[in-house]
A = this chain, B = another copy of it.
């Protein structure tokens, strides 16, 4: 892995901290700063009432009380679960890293959607795994295509995948949700071909429209699915508390591969108190309404200022996947938008191997509706400038963004 991957990406400046106020943040999946929860009272109480727990080393698997609260939440979502199934993590990304550590060797194939969450790509690559990419449509990953690929690999005697990574609800970056039928079929394929599924579901509770689909894990009868959850998108990303939900044997192997001395019991207890007092549920309700309003503002602004761009309205989550007009490239638009004061992510970043051309990912979570409208206008201006002076942006030229995905 090159040191370059640690360099901040365009669009990866932090809202409310180091970013110039004038840049409209639609790049990284940052929380809306105006709606971060007030945990001051809870934090003070935890530090005083739970001092010997919160400031001491915590149990390797997480605070038992928090694991039980997570069990309750997982069960309420239709998934059979007990305390032994739960491992507390420093956010959901750690689930992917630990699973790769315990079950994937360099060269082993790992299945992802095409496109997929860019940081998942980076983590999978850091383990030297080979990527098997499966296209998606409005119902999520094309599971029949995957079945054909797997059968073909097996008949050729190719190495078979150990792990599949997917964001089934309000997929990152495309916003689509995997249908129930495909979830069930995916579990059948995992059993038939002997791989595990990491169901990374940070956005699940941020639904603005439509009805929920049962988790992939709810179809699992043989321990092939590991669920990953986090409070990052539904509460506060600065509180680094996530969890994995899986077969006790796998959970135990993941725990053994943890190396940071157990997760922070102080923040774990804050999350637990926020769950118990109803603060998180209240926050989810409020946040969903606000996020839905952000998305409506983004769609209205695109319709007005970028009428020749195309998109599908996601039913939830943080992201809108925008197909640009055919005469401009995503990498060029991303750079030009950045120069105009709109931080977005080029779609190229989300493809493991050959990128589909002409997409950008827009995060509608972080900025206000007014600022989102400003950002979309800036993208429109950037595209206008590109069309006026195409010589400034040579198609196919390696941009800093493209280099990051090498």
Chain A residues engaging chain B, CB cutoff 8 angstroms: 1-3, 5-6, 8, 14-18, 28, 30-31, 33, 36-48, 51-61, 64, 89-91, 93-94, 96-97, 101-102, 119, 123, 126, 232, 236-240, 249, 252-253, 255-257, 259-267
Contact = CB atoms under 8 A, between A and B. Distances in A.
Contacts of A44: 40-41, 43-44, 47
Contacts of A259: 93-94, 96-97, 123, 126
A238 B253 contact: no
B261 A239 contact: no
A56 B238 contact: yes
Given A31-B56, A240-B262, 15 more contacts: A14-B57, A14-B58, A16-B56, A28-B57, A30-B56, A30-B57, A36-B55, A38-B48, A41-B44, A43-B47, A56-B238, A97-B259, A97-B260, A237-B261, A238-B265
A130 B123 CA distance: 25
Contact of A238 (B31, B97, B240, B266): B266
A357 to B, nearest CB: 27
B38 A237 contact: no
Contacts of A102: 1
Contact of A236 (B8, B48, B55, B261): B55
A6 B255 contact: yes
B260 A240 contact: yes
Nearest to A105: B106
A54 B238 contact: yes
A56 B43 contact: no
Contacts of A28: 57
By CB atoms of chain B within 10 A, which of A31, A91, A239, A240 has the most? A240
A200 to B, nearest CB: 12
B232 A52 contact: no
B256 A2 contact: yes
B238 A57 contact: yes
A1 B64 CA distance: 24
Nearest to A249: B3
Integer count of this chain's copies in the complex = 2
Nearest to A239: B266
Nearest to A45: B40
Contacts of A91: 260-261
Contacts of A93: 259-261
A386 to B, nearest CB: 30
B253 A239 contact: no
A179 B58 CA distance: 34
By CB atoms of chain B within 10 A, which of A28, A44, A267 has the most? A44
Contacts of A232: 57, 261
A264 B252 contact: no
Contacts of A237: 55-57, 261
Given A36-B51, A43-B43, A94 B260 contact: yes
By CB atoms of chain B within 10 A, which of A16, A31, A259 has the most? A259
Would you list the 9 A-B pairs with minimal beta carbon distance, nearest first? A55-B236, A97-B259, A40-B47, A44-B44, A16-B52, A6-B256, A90-B260, A3-B252, A55-B238
A1 B46 contact: no
21 contacts: A3-B253, A5-B256, A14-B59, A15-B56, A28-B57, A31-B55, A36-B55, A40-B47, A40-B48, A42-B47, A56-B238, A57-B237, A89-B260, A90-B260, A91-B260, A97-B259, A237-B261, A239-B264, A240-B261, A240-B262, A240-B264
A121 to B, nearest CB: 12
